[in-house]
Amino acid sequence: MKKTFGVFFPLYTTTLLMLLGSGLLTTYVSLRLSAINVSGAMIGAIIAANYIGLVIGGKVGHYLIARVGHIRAYVSCSGIITAAVIGHGLTEIIPIWVVLRLIIGLCMMCQYMVLESWLNDQSESSQRGVVFGFYMAASYLGMALGQVVLMLQTGLGMSTLLVIALCFALCLVPIALTTRTKVGHMSPAPMELKFFIGAIPKVLAITLVIGMIIGAFYGMAPLYTSQQSLSTQQTGLFMALAIFAGLVAQFPLSWLSDRYNRNMLMRINALLLAITALPLAVFSHISFPLLLACGFIVSLMQFTLYPLVVALANDMIEPERRVSLSACLLMAFGVGACIGPLLVGALIEPLGGKILYAFFALCAAGIVALSRTSAKEQQTQMAVDAPVPHIAMPDSLSSSPLSPALNPNLDEQMIQDQMPAHETVEQITPAEASDADKVAERREQGADPEADTGLQRAFILLEDSDITLKEEEQDEEDVAPPRVARQGR
């Protein structure tokens, strides 16, 4: 385990810094917009734009990585995010903020794809569970630390945005300095949406509802705390404890999930979520210690739902379709994460901040209703090798369409068959450069030499002409003595 952590330490460090900046930015945006009296509906639209960007980024990231390689894709996306973060401080025009959040979400999904394909490519099948576990811990820890940084800020000015930009700038350093650059391209998991809608419609609906809960929490919980008259520091503590609860909940959940009926566990957790959310949904103002306690318990319940529904879905589907299943679950979750902030944002202004936890209770009741199945249905839906071992995992806001490749429950050969290595857009020919080492280096960095134009082509021609000139000079030196001898005779 220590060796595995050491090998992937640069990637885990990058993940932690990236999620630190992302978690801090999400809370900052909600608080900042609330402070300048932006409507709840518009705040929800801005938060939803981020998740729409995450969904779109699944396609864009694959193309970008295939064209320029992992390191260049990550560095360029990090630069764009840094500029977009600073852009929030240059203007308060809300439509521009919507565009900036969409761009940030898109670029972050590209970064997730780089990290997850890199982790999968460099890890053995036997290591994948440990690798995935550290990745999950780094994700949750980064988001929680982002809220801790918020507690140290005295206001919501430009200094907070500079800290966020600093995190996104620094997160590219471990990637840029790593020597492990030989990463194979991998296509995102294919989707068989029509098949799964027919096979497990309730599971997909539950996943969408869970996405609505998680998306609304990340985007609208800071707005709820501001309506509770909490300070910025108190909001940071509330969010940090809530996100940390998500990490704590994963380990007992894994133990329970492997020993008890998962459908029953999900129904119990959803029921507990509805019950624990009721005090926050009913009372307009409660004491800060009680708010922290209730928020922590609610988060314990809500962050267990997505891993449970993923494990349950894998139990219902035959092994050869599980890679496609993971992609469809991620898509359903992402759509729900877009809908949740929009709904809560539209309701929070006329009904008050407590509607957020009323929304959680209502969604939890919906999950309880959807998870009710007869014994006959359960028997016919279970796959041959069910139940599969449960694994702790982050919510899908910290993962990409490549994440199925990191799932230790999926067979290595199955992943390779359904997520084949992407063929490079155009192959490099050794004749393009006389030095084979330079060709190999360019391949490792993900460059596409056949597409070189302008300065790139000029550099290649200059290198070739320089090498040719040196060879001619060397030939002249070698033949010079015989020519002198002939002249003497």
Q: For 322-365, write each residue's pLDDT tens digit.
A: 778 877 888 888 899 999 999 999 998 888 888 999 999 999 99
* 8-37 mean pLDDT: 89
Mean pLDDT of the chain: 79
In this structure, how many other beta carbons lie within 10 angstroms of the beta carbon of residue 198?
Answer: 9
- Note whether 191 and 272 are same-domain residues: yes
Distance, in Å, from the CA atom of 116 to the CA atom of 104, rounded to the nearest integer, reads 18
- Note whether 398 and 439 are same-domain residues: no
> Is residue 423 domain-resident?
no
- Note whether 367 and 437 are same-domain residues: no
DSSP label of 229: T
Q: How confident is the model at residue 397 (pLDDT cuts 50, 70, 90)?
A: low
Distance, in Å, from the CA atom of 474 to the CA atom of 467, rounded to the nearest integer, reads 11
> Is residue 104 domain-resident?
yes
Q: How confident is the model at residue 447 (pLDDT cuts 50, 70, 90)?
A: very low
> Is residue 359 domain-resident?
yes
More confident residue, 175 or 266: 266
Q: What is the pLDDT of residue 293?
A: 92
Q: What is the pLDDT of residue 484?
A: 40
Q: What is the pLDDT of residue 405?
A: 65
CA-based Rg of the chain, rounded to a whole angstrom? Answer: 26
Contact present, 391 and 408 (Cβ < 8 Å):
yes
Q: What is the pLDDT of residue 455?
A: 43
Tokens representing 5 are: 């952590």
Distance, in Å, from the CA atom of 191 to the CA atom of 105, rounded to the nearest integer, reads 21
Contact present, 346 and 44 (Cβ < 8 Å):
yes
Distance, in Å, from the CA atom of 394 to the CA atom of 479, rounded to the nearest integer, reads 69
Q: How confident is the model at residue 209 (pLDDT cuts 50, 70, 90)?
A: very high
In the block, tokens 């060796």 appear at 3
- Note whether 94 and 26 are same-domain residues: yes
pLDDT per position as a tens digit, 226-250: 888 888 889 999 999 999 998 888 8
DSSP label of 368: H
> Is residue 387 domain-resident?
yes
> Is residue 147 domain-resident?
yes
157 Cβ contact partners less than 8 Å away, ≥ 6 residues apart: none
Q: How confident is the model at residue 204 (pLDDT cuts 50, 70, 90)?
A: very high
**pLDDT above 80: residue 310:** yes
Q: How confident is the model at residue 296 (pLDDT cuts 50, 70, 90)?
A: very high
pLDDT per position as a tens digit, 400-443: 766 666 666 666 666 666 665 554 444 444 444 444 454 444 44
Distance, in Å, from the CA atom of 358 to the CA atom of 280, rounded to the nearest integer, reads 8
Minimum mean pLDDT range among 150-154, 279-283, 456-460: 456-460
Contact present, 139 and 23 (Cβ < 8 Å):
no
In the block, tokens 């796959």 appear at 383
Distance, in Å, from the CA atom of 403 to the CA atom of 388, rounded to the nearest integer, reads 17
pTM higher than the cut 0.85? no
In this structure, how many other beta carbons lie within 10 angstroms of the beta carbon of residue 280?
Answer: 23
More confident residue, 134 or 121: 134
Distance, in Å, from the CA atom of 462 to the CA atom of 180, rounded to the nearest integer, reads 29
More confident residue, 112 or 472: 112
Q: Which long-range contacts (CB under 8 A, 24 or more apart) does 196-203 make?
A: 196/317, 196/324, 196/325, 196/328, 199/316, 199/317, 200/313, 200/316, 200/317, 200/381, 202/370, 202/371, 202/373, 203/309, 203/312, 203/313, 203/316, 203/329
Nearest to residue 8, comparing CAs of 114, 109, 177, 123? 123
The CATH number of the domain holding residue 74 is 1.20.1250.20
DSSP label of 386: P
Domain that holds residue 443: 430-488
Tokens representing 127 are: 């290591």
- Note whether 56 and 179 are same-domain residues: yes
- Note whether 390 and 444 are same-domain residues: no
| Sign of the four-CA dihedral 20, 22, 26, 29 | positive
* 299-317 mean pLDDT: 87
**pLDDT above 90: residue 58:** no
- The percent of residues above 70 in pLDDT, for the chain, comes to 72
Minimum mean pLDDT range among 21-30, 32-41, 83-92, 385-394: 385-394
Nearest to residue 391, comparing CAs of 257, 272, 297? 257
> Is residue 329 domain-resident?
yes
- Note whether 408 and 439 are same-domain residues: no
**pLDDT above 80: residue 187:** no
> Is residue 424 domain-resident?
no
Minimum mean pLDDT range among 46-55, 56-65, 223-232, 399-408: 399-408
Q: What is the pLDDT of residue 85?
A: 94
Minimum mean pLDDT range among 118-127, 351-360, 442-451: 442-451
Residue that finishes a domain, picked among 369, 390, 418? 418
Contact present, 19 and 398 (Cβ < 8 Å):
yes
**pLDDT above 50: residue 114:** yes
Number of structural domains (the chain) is 2
Minimum mean pLDDT range among 186-190, 293-297, 302-306: 186-190
- Note whether 396 and 449 are same-domain residues: no
Alpha helices by DSSP H, 36-127 = 40-68, 70-90, 94-122
